[in-house]
Copies of this chain bind each other. A is one copy, B any other.
Amino acid sequence: MTEDADGMSLADRLARRIRALLISGELTPGQRLSEAAFSERFDVSRNSLREAFRLLTKDGLLRHEANRGVFVAVPTMASIIDIYRVRRMLECGALRQAWGQHPAIRVMRETADQGRVTRDRQDWAGVGSANMAFHAAVVDLADSARLNEFYERISAELRLCFGLLNDPENLHAPFVEMNETIVARLEAGRPHDAAAEMETYLNLAERTMLKALERACEPA
């Protein structure tokens, strides 16, 4: 899963490690990331750490306040709405123009199946991973390196939102069936229907996320 770690500069490797901490929920939204503490923790210089912070800030995972330091980004309604707007544009667009024999369709099929298997096993983390991989494959249909990279960034931000919520079952499980429908439409040579289905999916997912965020913000 994790790719080649060598050849990349220290800051890149650092950014990757911190990103992992972020999406694993080990670092909670709003938390301040002290330069001193983290350079100590990772045994790197403050300068190198600052380069890594800068990258993650550009990715939207950290927020930078002048003279106050960097903080883990806190998901808001606005950011969720924005993220789903992006997803509708990218994923529905990719589906609509998908070539019938594109290799990514096989990846979609595999990850959709994987989603069902893990769900039946009640392995919710597995369902989440399969789901993310499914949608990355959808974007890959567009055959654009820049789009893929952009989606990766959006995807990381979304995972940050997931971390805030603690209900992986309701967050991912309901979507297994829809993924299967979408890939089936595509396999049947009906990309437009697949896109329509995806739009339904994303609207539902967005509502679910917003509702979950609402609950998370105002705990009884």
Contacts and interface: CB of A to CB of B under 8 A. Distances in A.
B94 A89 contact: yes
A154 interface: yes
Given A9-B66, A66-B9, A147 B47 contact: no
Contacts of A83: 146
Contacts of A145: 82
Interface stretch (A48-56, A109-117, A164-172): A48-56
A89 B9 contact: no
Interface of A: 7-9, 11, 47, 50-51, 54-55, 58, 60, 64, 66, 82-83, 85-86, 89-90, 92-94, 142-147, 150, 154
29 contacts: A7-B66, A8-B66, A9-B64, A9-B66, A11-B54, A47-B47, A51-B51, A54-B54, A55-B58, A58-B58, A60-B146, A82-B144, A82-B145, A82-B146, A83-B146, A85-B142, A85-B144, A85-B147, A86-B146, A86-B147, A89-B89, A89-B90, A89-B93, A89-B142, A89-B144, A92-B93, A93-B93, A146-B154, A150-B150
